Amino acid sequence: MKISEATAWLFQRGVRTGPYGLDRIKFILDELDNPHREYACVLIGGTNGKGSVTAVTESIMSFCPEYVTGSLTSPHLVDIRERAKISARPLTDKHWIEGVKKMQEVCKILDKEASLGPASFFEAVAGLAFWAFRENDLDLAIIEVGLGGRFDATNATNPEVSVITNIGTDHQEYLGTGKIAIAREKLGIVRKRRPLITGEKEPEVLVEFERVCQENQSPLIRCQPQNHFELLESRADGHLLRIPEVSEPVFLALPGDHQLENLAISLTLVEQLRKNGFEIPAAAVAEGIGKARWPGRLQWIAGEPPILLDGAHNAEGVETLARYLEKFPPAGPLNIIFGALKDKPLVEMAARLAGFGHHLCFVPPRCNRALTREEFAGTLEPLGWQWFDKLAAAAEFCQKDAGTMLITGSLYLISDALRMFDKNV
């Protein structure tokens, strides 16, 4: 089997539209002899920032050579193999291929179980990753929740620490209406008598956090950035920090004030892992912060004009992007290429961005949930946005008189932009 054949089989599993539950992933893991029980793990959920927290924590742990650390993240931007890593390096093609063979055997059985139904793409990838982690003699798995928490396939694990970065209003069609309903779904990752770390600040939501943690006798740990580092300088390309027990300043190349909050969550998690017995020296923390990368999130690509990519794909993400643009106004006219899906608050997101733009271009992401030309005409066109069928056409139009070009609104669009503009992809 070739790697292309292995990944093609995974994609053919498709996206589950219901019913939701953990029965299928538990069946898969049981058939694989429950690999997830062979190593410690942490589970990282939340509306925004969970990928950044996973990436920074993974980077720190990769500088602790006595440990083998794995990570599972989603979605991928360019290559499916971004999703599973060992010590901050992509899982080998050998393990992807062997893992798919294992999953094919399991799915032959599962697909015939009418009471369970076939495994989805995400369930298959999760099962493969958990199996591969055991094959690599993992010490710690850092696992990002896919969607929600309670019924997400990653919740079949037994984390020794759970993290919920924050609660936003994304995916209400799946998780319920309003932040309290969404919080209840995400709080499904809390485990009895094991800590929950959060960066959530809204009092009404924190009441729900406290209730669930009390029911589970689980310590609730709220993050405070000032407890973990001193901010020396914030710049458009990141933050200069002083870390306790490290003599030289450290540069975090993840721009935006929100990344300081995410970093505080990562460092709180590191502190908890130390209490749980992991030896994580200050030097590893400094190296990990300095080497941490999370593509497609306030990522600058040099050129004429310079390009800013940001995967803001919900109202909270766009608000975070807007605050960044206000704090660090881009050079010259800003031409914006925006492409969001129809199940997002499109008008709210587009209106927030419009005030920053010279040219406003809308490109439908390559997804069956993309806005149609007719739907665009009745929603975004009156706000001054111009329709382009393809990213290439919008980019050609925007490059003519831009001081800076911004591409945002959907990770599908960011994926295409990385292929088009990032020479490192």
Q: Which domains does the chain carry?
A: 3-291 (3.40.1190.10), 299-419 (3.90.190.20)
CB within 8 Å of 130: residues ≥ 6 apart = 29, 32, 35, 36, 72, 141, 157
| Contact indicator for 183, 201 with CB cutoff of 8 Å | no
Token digits of residue 68: 């083998």
Location of structure tokens 């992509």 = 90
How many other C-beta atoms can be found within 10 angstroms of the C-beta atom of residue 157?
23
pLDDT score at 173: 58
What is the Cα–Cα distance from 245 to 312, expressed in whole angstroms? 35
pLDDT score at 172: 56
Location of structure tokens 């919080």 = 183
Pairing label, strands 230-235, 238-242? antiparallel
Low-confidence ranges of the chain (pLDDT < 70): 17-18, 170-176, 425
How many other C-beta atoms can be found within 10 angstroms of the C-beta atom of residue 250?
18
pLDDT score at 121: 96
| Contact indicator for 257, 245 with CB cutoff of 8 Å | no
pLDDT score at 178: 82
pLDDT score at 17: 67
CB neighbour burial string for 223-240, b if at least 16 within 10 angstroms, e if fewer:
bebeebbeeeebebebbe
pLDDT score at 20: 85
What is the Cα–Cα distance from 366 to 419, expressed in whole angstroms? 14
